[in-house]
Amino acid sequence: MTAKSNKGNLLEEAKSSKHSHNHGENVTGEEFPHTHLILITYLLTVPVVWLLDSFIFNFSTQLTAFVPFIIKLIASVIMIILSLIIMRSADNMLFKEERSDKIVINTGPFAYVRHPLYLSMLLLYLGLILFSFSIIALIYWGAFFVLFNKMVAFEEKDLIKILGPDYVEYMDKVARWIPYIF
């Protein structure tokens, strides 16, 4: 299926589902099955895998010898700080601002990526991985990235149903993960 025909399908689905709801009706979307379990597993196991490989077993940290400590430290700290800034900003916009109606949030971090909270969690642990260059932790992190990508694809289908063509237009303008790229 081409991107153009996929966009057409999304627009048709959005129009039909938007008209099936009353505008003021409180419509909530579905989460990906077991989202909370996935997130808790991610938050607890990624650092454990990273710690075990980076500081105890050292199975896959041979690359760390080729990168100076100060470079690893700076890259890691920048990534972690960036993730915390994104997380705080997105959290404030989603959960602390009052809205009277369901709208597409397209300001703050949402102007650059569609899922800044998920992205901030991924960047936080990527920052840790940059410190030790643990290949095992990076592969484990990558598996969760694939899972997060499936989660957001599932949730975006619901957001299209709830927010209609406005969300499809937002999807066209704003990247899912990496601003202006992906």
The pLDDT score that the predictor gives to residue 19 is: 45
Q: What are the start-end ranges of the H helices in 164-179? A: 165-173
| Both tokens assigned to 23 | 């505008």
**Which CA distances in Å does 33 have to 73, 102, 125?**
37, 23, 23
What confidence score (pLDDT) does residue 3 get?
47
Of the candidates 91, 97, 96, 138, the one whose C-alpha atom is nearest the C-alpha of residue 115 is: 91
- What pLDDT sits at residue 30? 79
Q: Give average pLDDT by consecutive 10-residue segment, the chain, 182 residues.
A: 52 52 52 90 93 94 93 96 97 87 92 96 95 94 95 94 95 94 82
